[in-house]
Amino acid sequence: MSMKYYLSLLLLFFSTALLAQKKFTLSGTIRDGATGETLIGATVKISGPATAGTLTNGYGYFAISQIEGSYTVVISYTGYTAITKTITLNKDIKLNEELKSTIDLAEVVVSATNRKNENVKSAQMGLERVDMKSLNSIPVLLGEKDVLKTIQLLPGVKSGGEGNTGFYVRGGAADQNLIILDEAVVYNSSHLLGFFSTFNADAIKDVSLYKGGMPAQYGGRLSSVLDVRMDDGNNKEFKFQGGIGLIASRLKAEGPIVKDRGSFMVSFRRTYIDLFLRASPDSSINGSTLNFYDINAKANYKINDKNTIYVSGYFGKDNIGVKDLFANDWGNVTATIRLNHIFSDRLFSNTSLIYNNYNYTVRLLNDVTNFKASSLVRDFNFKEDFQYFSNKHTLRFGINATQHRISPIDISVSQESQVNPLTQQRRYGIESAAYISDEWAATEHLNFLYGLRLAAFSLMGPGNFSTYDPDGNILSTESVADGKFYKNYFNLEPRFSVSYLFNEENSIKTSYNRNTQNVHILTNATSSSPTDQYVLSSNNIKPEIADQVSMGYFRNFDENNYEFSGEVYYKWLQNQIDYKNAAQLLANSNIESELLYGVGRAYGLELFFKKKFGKLNGWVGYTLSRTERKFAELNNGKYFPSRQDRTHDVSVVGIYNISQRWTFSSSFIYSTGNAVTFPAGKYVVGGQTTYYYTERNAGRMPYNMRLDVSATLEGKKHKRYQSSWNFGVYNLLARKNPYSIEFIDDPNDPRKTAAQQTSLFGLIPSVTWNFKF
Amino acid sequence: MKRLTLYLILLVLSLSACKKIIDIDTKDAAPQIVIEGKITDSLIDQQIRISKTVGYSELGIYPKVSGATVTVSDNKGNNYVFKETSPGIYTNRMKGNPGTTYNLNITAEGAVYTASSTMPKKVLMDSIGVINNYFFGNERKTTAAYLADPKNEANQYRFYLYRNGIISKSIYVNNDRLTDGNNLRIQLFFFTDEERDEELNSGDQLLVEMECIDAPVFDYWFALSEQTGRGPNQGTTPANPPSNLSNGALGYFSANTYQKLSATVK
């Protein structure tokens, strides 16, 4: 009912636009002049009898409709020299342009024309785009540049822990981030238990993080969207680039399939810690494995002016093992086939077929046990997205259907093993969605971005589904046949953002959005673990729901050289999941009997000040926030802070281009310690000192503080090749940041209790050599 | 399993990992009643201990609770009155039987605490021994208990490991949810505060005690075992384990079988 109402309202807005004066369309694709890569989010602005502006979409495409006349077109993109053209709009016009990177100009160019006030004008809030060029100079652990560690330096985004790629956005849990790589969901985005991410920066073109004001085309997770897009590949010439670092090496090859029509990109990364292990003379050390690798591959081909096809894939794997004892491997696979079709200059469509899976295997090997446990999450996804460019409206609408299959755990063993074989029932679900949204430049001062998403989830047979009493005993079990719908949930997710411009440099924005989530992770570890368990919404688990409102003030200074923003948000969370004390999460068919359901709230203030250009650039971010959960069965039913509740979070990033060849950069972070449960008393049972707890997460870990620095030396320019050295020091102050605290009997006086802190990383230097030819 | 993976990573990645004693900020809680009671299948002075907690920052000298009325009754109609034989320790010489449910009733300092526990069927260890594990090139001697798990019944086991008379700090608790009906070899890694997995040496005297416990007592120990040795920020959020005692008392009441075996490390 209400869906129909909203839709008709939307169409009403839309048709008034159609009824207006006769208009012509300027459309085209904007690319990088050197590589032919499409540029995402480039600004196209026309001025003449009327003015209008737009951004290129995820495929570099744009369209603007305006009344007849002579116009000046300015196309700009940060880090590129802007192009100015004059056109006469008396028919529909195609304008495919290539921009030249200013980096090639051997000096830091600050062109006034590529200063746009996009952050001030757009109705979009809570969006952060990672500049892949600055990513190279931000210092990181062991010199492995990492998208996920860089976004942790932004306000509102909190690190999952020291050196960890896990992240929390505005009080959300780690599993509430939608992480997509070329539209495919990446379930586990970490390598080596979170110290590195699955995103090899060499193969990544664009990274956008939505902390709030999520556009309606995204759904399925509560807290954020991290939209990662791979490089398309150079369609002009063959290029190689790579790097040799302390723990990993990278190599990327790209080139045209057919010049200016199609290209490919293949990128490979592998760690080699285990090669050092292999060098050991000791047979049980040199038989151990500890590595991960990533392969990204992509190809695209422009069939004709109206159709372009993209095929991309990711394959990554971690292997850990001790000879004759233990082996654990895990990894993600994604594959995406996309077809861009331009129905008319104004109507752009993208059809995607997506496959992704995440799986892990654990083997225990010894003289009596030969044990193998494996688990799989697999999705097939079909998406159809449309984008319609009208005069003042950009309309997006589409549908999406995903089939999930979860194999929670399969245990197979040798005959004499002490563990019994077990196959836990698979779970099947279909998640489908339809959405429509409109970006509307209502007046010179007022911009709207509003839409609606209908999210449906169905839990399907075959399977046995149980209900439980509060003690976890089975009340009833229903057997559901193959292909039958067992449980359905429908959720309407309104999304609304508006910006009001006082002038070109000042605006306020506000947004509201609702998100729902039907795939949940159950974990009792802080950092992401390869053996995290995924569950679908069911008769017991209700879809998680988040409502977020946010408001912000946005200001640019000095011709856009400085950017300031302040945002406040409040978020209500429903149907949050925790588990009972003494829950047995491993290989438990009745795992849903171990769960607790509650609510949460999160609110905060984010301040961001950025200097975008010049020899010295960088940013300062500050977050003041609170994140709490409430479960009837925990903490006497009172709100308690989430573990990732950190009151203050400060990050400072500075990049200084000292000369053409030397770049220095540093990052500094400070954050309040995690909220943890400290004992309030102690007693003895079973001959051991045991701790008495009163309030959940009422204690604080010591604060975190770290300064990282790096220096990049660009090699002398050669015609054929280019190389650079990157030197870094992680934790320059060698501060012992807390990783965990244990309580022990005081070594000096066993009648006393001592808190023993473990720190992970001291000062860690790194060096990386990068090359391009 | 997860823990082993983590150790591997830490071993290789963080040769610089370090530990230090720090001060933390926490409030001392008011004293709470702690009850630890066991009825075993041996004819001995069965003990019910009643004490109180002390605050986190206080010395670990735990006040004994004297003058309590302690009785145990079973579902066969027997009543056992426990007498305070030393401060806070209440005893009665008796022998429990598998399959019998025991009900504890305590009146202490004006409050009543009750609990009930059923002694499971007795399962015996066949033997204990020492096995060698190779962990990154180092040979590790580990104590192991061998037993045959009975088929088609739920069993829960609690072990205590002593080396040269010193009790291991780890809580060893197992159930047969995934191992029903099999010959089990249960590895008991020796832990102290200083060392995660302390080496066994030739000549060490090992003593392993085994109890067959009921499901609520298993939950109690399992919850504790998930928390110990990990502390805040790692693993599960610590909380008081689910107790079978009423009225908010800490501790547990367990009717369990008892067996001990000893060996010398070769």
pLDDT band, very low/low/confident/very high, at A161 (cuts 50, 70, 90)? confident
Q: Would you call A141 exposed, middle or buried from its count of C-beta atoms within 10 A (0-12, 13-18, 19+)? A: buried
Of A224, A5, A246, A263, the closest CA to residue A125 belongs to A224
Per-residue pLDDT at B55: 94
- Could you tell me what percent of chain A has a pLDDT over 90? 48
Average pLDDT in the B176-181 region?
A: 91
Burial of A185 (0-12, 13-18, 19+ CB in 10 A): buried
Q: Which of residues 219-248 of B touch A (CB under 8 A)?
A: 219-224, 226, 228-242
pLDDT exceeds cutoff 50 at B3: no
In a domain, B158, yes or no: no
Q: Report pLDDT for A527.
A: 56
Q: A2: which residues sit within 8 A by CB, 6+ positions away?
A: A492
Smallest CA-to-CA distance from B113 within B174, B70, B53 is with B70
Tell me if the bond preceding A256 is cis, omega within 30° of 0.
no
Cα–Cα distance measured from residue A498 to residue A551, given in angstroms and rounded to the nearest whole number:
10
Structural domain harbouring B60: 33-119
Please report whether residue B5 resides in a domain. no
What does the pLDDT look like over A500-515, one tens digit per residue?
A: 999 888 999 999 999 9
Do residues A72 and A48 touch, judged by C-beta distance below 8 A? yes
Residue B233 in this model has a pLDDT that exceeds 70: no
pLDDT of B235 reads 62
For residue A635, pLDDT beyond 80: yes
Residue A58 has pLDDT above 60, yes or no: yes
Residues of chain A with CATH 2.60.40.10: 2-116
Residues of chain A with CATH 2.40.170.20: 227-772
| pLDDT at res. A193 | 72
Task: Confirm whether B146 is domain-assigned.
Answer: no
User: What ipTM goes with this model?
Assistant: 0.91
Residue A298 reports pLDDT greater than 90: yes
Asked if A252 contacts A241 with a C-beta cutoff of 8 angstroms, the reply is yes
Work out how many domains chain B is built from and give that number: 1
pLDDT at A132 over 90: no
- pLDDT at residue number A668: 94
pLDDT at A419: 86
Q: Mutation target for A interface from B233, B243, B252, B258: give the one with most A CBs within 10 A.
A: B233
Provide the CATH topology of domain A127-226. Answer: Ferric Hydroxamate Uptake Protein; Chain A, domain 1 (2.170.130)
Instruction: Tell me if B114 is assigned to some domain.
Output: yes
Percent of chain A, pLDDT > 70? 92
**Cα separations (Å) of A610 from A170, A561, A617, A652?**
20, 8, 8, 10
Highest mean pLDDT among A258-262, A623-627, B59-63, B183-187 belongs to: A623-627
Average pLDDT, chain B: 87
User: Considering CB atoms only, which of A273, A678, A746 is closest to B26?
Assistant: A678
pLDDT level of residue B85 (50, 70, 90 thresholds): very high
Question: Which of A308-322, B3-17, B220-234 shows the lowest per-residue confidence on average (mean pLDDT)?
Answer: B3-17
Task: Output the pLDDT for position A644.
Answer: 86
A/B interface, count of CB pairs below 8 Å? 255
In this structure, are residues A319 and A192 in contact, taking their beta carbons and an 8 Å threshold? Answer: no
The whole-number pLDDT of residue A323 equals 73
Specify whether domain A2-116 bears CATH 2.60.40.1180: no
CB of A273 within 8 Å of a chain B CB? The answer is yes
Radius of gyration over every alpha carbon of chain B, rounded to an integer in angstroms: 20
Q: What is the pLDDT of residue A110?
A: 32
Say if the Cβ atoms of A740 and B233 lie within 8 Å: yes
Q: Are A365 and A327 in contact (CB under 8 A)?
A: yes
Specify the pLDDT at position A226: 94
For residues A274 and A286, what is the distance between their CA atoms, to the nearest angstrom?
A: 8
Q: Which two tokens stand for residue B214?
A: 């009921």
Rounded mean pLDDT, B229-238 = 61
Query: Nearest C-alpha of chain A: how many angstroms from B167?
Result: 8
Indicate the pTM of the whole model: 0.89
pLDDT value, residue B14: 45
Under a CB-based contact definition with an 8 Å cutoff, are residues B115 and B250 in contact? Answer: no
- Chain A residues whose beta carbon lies within 8 Å of the beta carbon of residue B5: 193, 320, 326, 328, 530
Structure confidence at residue A523 (pLDDT): 74
Name the H helices within A255-352: 273-278, 283-286
CB distance from B192 to chain A under 8 Å? no
- Average pLDDT of chain A? 87
Q: How far is CA A313 from CA A104, A186, A227, A445, in A?
A: 30, 12, 15, 42
Q: Write the CATH number for B40.
A: 2.60.40
Beta partners for residue A764, in sequence order: A730
- Region A249-260: mean pLDDT is 91
Q: Which residue has the higher pLDDT, A554 or B226?
A: A554
Which residue of A531, A757, A762 is in closest CB contact with B20? A757
For residue B73, is it within any domain? yes
Fold (topology level) of A227-772: Maltoporin; Chain A (2.40.170)
Residue B1 lies in a domain: no
- Quote the pLDDT of residue B249: 96
**Average pLDDT of the segment spanning A299-319:** 93
